[in-house]
Structure 1
Amino acid sequence: MNADLSEFRRGVVAPVECIKEGWALIKDQYWLFLGISLVGILIGGAVPIVLLGPMMIGIFLCLLQRQRGEPVEFGTLFKGFDHFVQGLVVAAVKMIPIFIVLVPYYIFLFTMMATSMPRGRHPSPEDSQAFVWSFFGVEMVFFVVIMVVSMLIEIFFMFAFPLIADRKLSGLDAVKLSFRAGKANIGGIIGLILLNGLLAFVGVLCCIIGVYFYLPIAFASQVVAYRRVFPDIGQTFPSPPPPPGNWA
């Protein structure tokens, strides 16, 4: 990977500013980006590992175009399929930690249910209560673990899809660079994730549908954070010619 493509800034993600700048980025074309976000998530969610990657790349292609001051068309969303393989790689790698958590959980849960259920007699109230509390405890531990894992995934994969859209990196290179940049900006990224989550929850309280109206702002805030961490290197200028030799 080219050294210029792997350069990034550290400690530059300011959550509140990212959300404000994200809203400023899309507010003039809010309804267009709402449609792009909803269609992208709807199609991507149909077959997550296969379609989510290209759709996320398409969403970020649109936002990056807007950020560069270029006209944005709805059809740009589907240009994410030009990077289908790279998006598929990122989506697949992103799912690995989830499977690592889920498989042992279901094995443990099945084993617990198989060994805890009384056999050959009607369970006493004490047995039933103990089983319910044990099951509840396991569920709570699993919930905490899955929340922590999900947070870590979002931190370290936040820039993977934008890197493919912007710098045309391969899937694995995008994951590795996103991991490094996420680690270098972990405080700001956690703040951005939590703040976006809080605002999305407020949207849920507004008859649930409000969360969908916040979706394009959340994506835009991620693009702002991305550009703060990864400066635009798309614009290049020709180098001046070398000075004439000294013929004296």
Structure 2
Amino acid sequence: MKTLTAFALALVIALPVAAQNSGLRRLTDRDDLFGWEAVGRLNLNGGGICTGTLIAPDLVLTAAHCAFDDATGRHFAPGQVLFQAGLRDGVSVADRKVVQIETPPEFAARGAISTERIRVDIALMRLETPIPTALADPFALHSGDLRGSEVSVSSYGRGRTEAISRQRSCSLLWRDQGLMAFDCNVTFGSSGSAILAREGTRGRILSVVSTGGKIDGRVVGYGMELDGIVDRLKRQMRRDAPAPRASVRRLQAGSGRSTAGAKFVRPGGS
């Protein structure tokens, strides 16, 4: 198996040297945040964080390695991950618990970083209830040709965990064999961030941050092609969705009102 380091060196060394893009803007004010509310912080059980992005009112796209409990090697249990949409300095537009997680079956939670692992380092998380689009407008996936090499990223990360930091412009370095590399400013906590490419009037999701590192002093992030894999995860999610529990109505003699009943979440969504 070719390791990421060998693969990256083989491709990046051949690239022309360019200035490292490092300009980050902290989205602190409500006006700054407008249009970016669908980006949120994922609080993982045990204290870790990742970044996730809404692609539907009840679906968060992130990295697969953000979906696993290190202690068990299994997906976090329902309720152990909290998505905070548009979080800034303790205030979010909406908080939702994650109740279902899907990752590709071939993703190895405890596997070594490799090109094969990055290609499938993608996860979908279903929220307990949808977040209204009036509060957070989901991002669509990129489709069609990518014109130019300029992309952007908005994320949380080490040293900037309390508000989204947006890098308006960074560069796609290469894309090949289902992988991408970019010089966006990513760090711990940026895992799962959406790499956005301009399409129409709004950015669309081109890739998701899987990992990063430095090569010859340059910060390089790595992600995957999304073509087909997100649809596959949606099919898995529909297949694995828990069946609704039937409610039982208990009536008191002489009363037409129930005294108890099961509560359940209606399945469905995107």
TM-score when normalising by structure 1 = 0.29
Structure with greater helix share of residues = 1
Highest RCO, 1 vs 2 (Cα 8 Å, sep ≥ 6): 1
Structure with greater strand share of residues = 2
Larger Rg, first or second structure (1 or 2): 1
TM-score when normalising by structure 2 = 0.27
